[in-house]
Amino acid sequence: VVPDAAPPTRAAITTLAGTIDFTGGLSVAVQADGGDLDIPAQRLGLSGDVRIETSDGYRMAADTVTLDLRDGTLVAGDTVETEGPMGRIDSRTLSIVPSEGDGQARRFSFGDGVRLVYDPRASAH
């Protein structure tokens, strides 16, 4: 991490790898070739080989990901590959935003060249 000043307002990140552990037991591993953290805006931009994997079996790979830490949103682009226990969804874009009403729920929107592969046998396990 290379900050821009003291106190820093931005930080350039190279070779990001980390895990977020939530109180409910879920963990999320994040990897990226690089990134840029805008501290006042609370926005993290990731680039390169971005990979996100959850402890409950979901994986995502994308060329770029922007996380708005304040609003709890994620926008991924260029190429997005997601995979889970019941199949996979590939697309050019993905946005994840809080769902209205429930603070825990999220709305996933895939766009541009969406391809869904559903494995009903996997959902029975």
Q: What CATH number is associated with residue 56? A: 2.60.450.10
- Counted domains in the chain: 1
Residue percentage of the chain with pLDDT more than 70: 90
Question: How high is the pLDDT of residue 124?
Answer: 58
For the cut 70, the answer to whether the pLDDT of residue 2 exceeds it is no
* Exposure class string for 29-60: b at 16+ Cβ within 10 A, else e: ebbbeebebeeeeebbbbbbebbbbeeeeeeb
Q: How do strand 93-98 and strand 106-111 relate by DSSP bridges?
A: antiparallel
The residue segments making up the domain with residue 10 are 2-123
Pairing type for strands 2-3 and 87-91 reads unpaired
119, 86 contact by CB (below 8 A): yes
* Tens-place pLDDT, residues 66-98: 988 888 888 998 899 999 888 999 999 998 887
Write down the pTM of the prediction. 0.80
